[in-house]
Amino acid sequence: MAKYAVGSVIDERYRVTGLLGQGAHGVVYAAEDEMLGSRVALKCLSAELAADPAFKVRMHREARAMGALSGTSATQIFAFNKTPEGGLYIVMELLAGRDLEAYLRELESHGARIELKRLVNLLGPIADTLETAHGLALVHRDVKPGNVFVLDTLVRGGVRLLDFGLAKDLNATSLTADGMIAGSPGYIAPEVWRGRAKEADRRIDVYSLGAVIFRALAGAPPFNPKDPMDRFLIAVTRGPRPSLVKLRRDLPVAIDGWVEKALAIEPADRFSSVAKMWEALRAIAELPVRQVRTDPPSIPWEVEIDVDIEVEVATLRGTQIPRP
């Protein structure tokens, strides 16, 4: 629950002007930096949560990841400090706009879908940011439309990659043990669902970004996380990859091959980097488009799945799906 009321001053400097959001890992406020006269966002962790080593380390890693990615399309960080009460807070840029999910839903509410070229140009800075992060041995682990923010202006690319709270430093001790699931269901890579979290590397971000592209073009994630869990896990870890061409006849035929590789079940079969994935997608975006369909596209979950496939569902059935 939010602790600071509007008008409260944090650390004798930041005056709270509004609540932006809150969750299990902290509260985000809009604030004014009274020293500089600028508007900022504050992500605050209570003293109670900051006393928990896991929460504390995650907050530190998020701040360090944002600092390491200065100059990219990651959210810009200005400061990281303690509150007088013993809590922690990150001072970062205040963003004006909406997340990618809201952006896409607005288009879809008018019967439209985003064009491939537009999508490639829009999310190019996000791909570049992930590639930079991977070069620093940082894996985001929660790439999804809700963590991509589309700005009202074109400052530094016009988009931001949010929430490095689940970011994993491949050179550091893991905070997530095998068998534990981190991320958002519709965008989690198969190897994570199979309980191989310790083996996860940058290719889980390749998968997640591929799923984001699929959702943007198709109107829904490649697999339906609202399905019964057994069916959902079979689809993600063993089922066929859905076709975008069947859903959108205006897309080049080559897009389905891209989907197969971006969302490949085995990491070794995926694009080895975000840069290679994006290079391939950019090339496809330059291909001639097909006939534009006039009937509303269906959703990708109508793919038939062999429910007799034997998978490790007995183990995964007891896994609790994280909230989107």
pLDDT tens column, 79-119: 999 988 899 999 999 999 999 999 999 999 999 999 999 99
* CA atoms of 129 and 197, how far apart (whole Å): 22
Average pLDDT over residues 35-53: 93
Residue 306's pLDDT is 37
Q: Is 227 one of the catalytic residues?
A: no
Residue 275 burial (C-beta neighbours within 10 Å; 0-12, 13-18, 19+): middle
Average pLDDT over residues 229-257: 95
Average pLDDT over residues 62-74: 94
Residue 163's pLDDT is 87
Assess whether pLDDT exceeds 50 at residue 194: yes
* CA atoms of 44 and 55, how far apart (whole Å): 12
Question: Mean pLDDT in the chain?
Answer: 86
* CA atoms of 299 and 302, how far apart (whole Å): 7
Q: Could you tell me if 157 and 112 are in contact, meaning their C-beta atoms sit under 8 angstroms apart? A: no
Domains of the chain and any CATH numbers? 8-93 (3.30.200.20), 97-286 (1.10.510.10)
**Measured between alpha carbons, how far is residue 320 from residues 20, 29, 229 in Å?**
28, 30, 10
Helix, strand, coil share (%) of the chain residues, nearest 5 = 35, 15, 45
9-23, 187-201, 219-233: least confident range: 187-201
The residue from 11, 33, 128, 142 that is catalytic is 142
Assess whether pLDDT exceeds 90 at residue 307: no
Assess whether pLDDT exceeds 50 at residue 10: yes
3-class state of residue 1 by DSSP: coil
Residue 169's pLDDT is 66
Average pLDDT over residues 255-282: 98
pTM given for the model: 0.85
> Cα torsion for 252, 253, 255, 259, to the nearest 10°?
160
**Measured between alpha carbons, how far is residue 85 from residues 30, 46, 81, 227, 262 in Å?**
20, 8, 12, 44, 46
Q: Could you tell me if 32 and 41 are in contact, meaning their C-beta atoms sit under 8 angstroms apart? A: no
* CA atoms of 278 and 276, how far apart (whole Å): 5
